[in-house]
Copies of this chain bind each other. A is one copy, B any other.
Amino acid sequence: MTAGDGVRDTLARLRADVADLHRMLTRYELVTWTAGNISARVPGRDLMVIKPSGVSYDDLTEERMVVTDLHGRLVDGDQAPSSDTDAHAYVYRHMPEVGGVVHTHSTYATAWAARGEPIPCVLTMMADEFGGEIPIGPFALIGDESIGRGIVEALHGSRSPAVLMQNHGPFTTGKTARDAVKAAVMLEDVARTVHIARQLGEPIEIPSGQVTSLFHRYQNSYGQRTDR
């Protein structure tokens, strides 16, 4: 098998995975109509697989997924890539450890984003998954590098794989696209729970030393060893 075959196989697998993972966005009600997208980096290549623009989740097949380079230029596929492709591409160029990116407008996370308010770490599950508060990124218009740059700057000052872009919505990252989807699902869950807790008073903060120890334990010992 030539190097070319290896890439073809990897691309085929990633197209199928990314198409399939979009079902988690509808199952957990993180997206409405066509407003959310997932991408995966092609390992070892300056390429990514991403959702086409404006296509309904019911019609997302692996054949319709598109491949772009890390400046968002179409490399393979019949369809125009997601209108958020530039932001995904910027993240892959500047965060080599990231293998997957997810963008949604999930309700509670976007509500925090509309107020430009980070989500405080008041749940053990948040400490486990996010290692502290969920940061806010700047207001930025689509169409140049400002969304991507805002995401990367906000994530660099944080343990969190998730950022809330002001007035816009969440972007999440992970080692793989599946990890980024898990972060998007857990983010909406904690955004909702902390919102509801705050409606009737102030949640109790978790001291930062205990946030750190919860984060390290969870990142190192949760799940099956083969899963990690």
**Which residues on A are within 8 Å of B, measured CB to CB?**
28, 32-35, 52-55, 79-80, 83, 105, 107-108, 110-112, 114-117, 122-125, 139, 141-143, 166-169, 182, 185-186, 189, 192-204, 206, 210, 213-214, 217, 221-225, 227
Number of copies: 4
Question: How far does the alpha carbon of A167 sit from the alpha carbon of B193 in the complex, in Å?
Answer: 11
With beta carbons under 8 angstroms apart, the residue of B32, B112, B214 that contacts A189 is B32
Asked if A33 contacts B167 (CB within 8 A), the reply is no
Contacts of A80 in B (CB 8 A): 223-225
In the complex, how many angstroms separate the beta carbon of A65 from the nearest chain B beta carbon?
A: 13
Given contacts A54-B222, A167-B204, A225-B80, contact A32 B111 (CB under 8 A): no
Q: Do B53 and A115 touch across chains, with their CB atoms under 8 A apart?
A: no
Q: Is the pair B214, A141 in contact by a Cβ cutoff of 8 Å?
A: yes
- Across the two chains, which residue of chain B brings its CB closest to A189? B32
